[in-house]
Amino acid sequence: MSDETIQELSENFALFDDWEERYRYLIDLGRNLPHMSEDQMQDVNIVRGCTSRVWMVLGVDDNGCVQILADSDAHIVRGLIAVLLAAYQNKKPEEITVLDIKSYFRKIGLDQHLSPNRRNGFFAMVERIHSFASSASGVSS
């Protein structure tokens, strides 16, 4: 995946006239993500609260930035992971804890066009990232 920002993704979503095209774009974003290795796809890395299977590994690099590796068995969910990476990848934990992902979620239109299960799964991933970032920065979530 390219290093698109959440702002660039918002602008790209706005280029499409209907949600069928936006879903195709979301799926294409997911196709560009690297796949996790089998040894990373273990129960300890599963994100609870997602209908689809989602694995997520979080860490902090030498610069103190959060690194996220995530994968799913569902194409649309992989696209949602790409949205999360645009928002959170390579950010300091303190930046992650203050980012208002819900406003971007609304701006892109995902709040109206995802099923409740997908929406809940998206925010389960957000919660996992926020929890990690809070721990990494020493801030209570």
Catalytic residue among 26, 29, 47, 50: 50
Q: How far apart are alpha carbons 21 and 136 in whole angstroms?
A: 38
- Beta 54-60 vs 66-72: how paired, if at all? antiparallel
Angle between helices 75-88 and 101-108 in degrees, nearest 10: 130
- Examine the residue annotation and report whether 65 is marked as an active-site residue of this protein: no
Q: How far apart are alpha carbons 141 and 130 in whole angstroms?
A: 7
Helix (H) or strand (E) holding 71: strand 66-72
Residues forming the active site: 50
